[in-house]
Amino acid sequence: MSNAILSSRALAKSYLSGDRCIEVLRGVDLEVAAGESVSIRGESGSGKSTLLNLLSGLDTADRGALAWADGPALADRRAEFLGMVFQAFYLIPEIDAFQNVLMAARILRAPGAAERARAKELLARVGLAERATHLPAQLSGGERQRVAVARALMNSPKLLLADEPTGNLDEHTGDAVIALLLDLCRETGTALVLVTHNVAHAQKTNRQLFLREGKLSHG
């Protein structure tokens, strides 16, 4: 795939459990094109989150190769290259929604007027302009996840990884978050890898994959 924004070859990962070696991933090949949305489903414990941790560079594979946009997957590229959305939101409870979104920019530089304007724009885009000064505890679960989506897009990443982003939400709210996530990625040209157990959500992506026995196959 000539325009691949993410490319993995034969990624493998094992863990020790007592005297047993558990082989979670057994050679994962994946290419994601710029602007493409890809969903990954799999049984509980199949290694979906492990795979996202490898693709994000948060963990290291035992074997295999990973590249981001024709370059190496290096920690100092992560904040600018990719954004992440998790099931548990991971907002900082002591600061408001606006500052949580802006926090992503602080990883790269001291935020200026342009960064502050972008944070406000993103909060407006996710429907939370009027909630910008609210702390996470003052927001609903769906609102917290929308803040997390805005934060993930703060640095205009080329790739967004979402790990069960609707897992803590009711069905209606989860559907709305997925629709928003896909709309924003289409608007910005950001590639999306979505790990989900929800078949309906998976079917809204350009390509559906299934993780079984440590390898990816077409869902």
Tell me the one-letter amino acid at 25: L
Alpha-carbon distance of 68 to 82, in angstroms, equals 9
Mean pLDDT of the chain: 94
Interval 103-151: pLDDT, tens:
999 999 899 999 999 999 999 999 999 999 999 999 999 999 999 999 9
Q: Are strands 4-17 and 63-68 parallel, antiparallel or unpaired?
A: antiparallel
DSSP label of 95: S
Would you state the pLDDT for residue 219?
Answer: 63
Query: Which domain CATH number covers 206?
Result: 3.40.50.300
What is the pLDDT confidence band of residue 74, given thresholds at 50, 70 and 90?
confident
What is the pLDDT confidence band of residue 210, given thresholds at 50, 70 and 90?
very high
Q: Provide the residue range defining the domain that includes 136.
A: 4-218
What is the pLDDT confidence band of residue 17, given thresholds at 50, 70 and 90?
confident
Q: Does the structure show a pLDDT above 80 at 98?
A: yes
Count: domains in the chain: 1
* Backbone phi, psi, residue 89, to 5°: 70, -55
Give the tokens for residue 164.
């069960």
Tell me the one-letter amino acid at 184: L
DSSP label of 71: E
Q: Which residue has the higher pLDDT, 83 or 18?
A: 83
* Backbone phi, psi, residue 176, to 5°: -65, -40
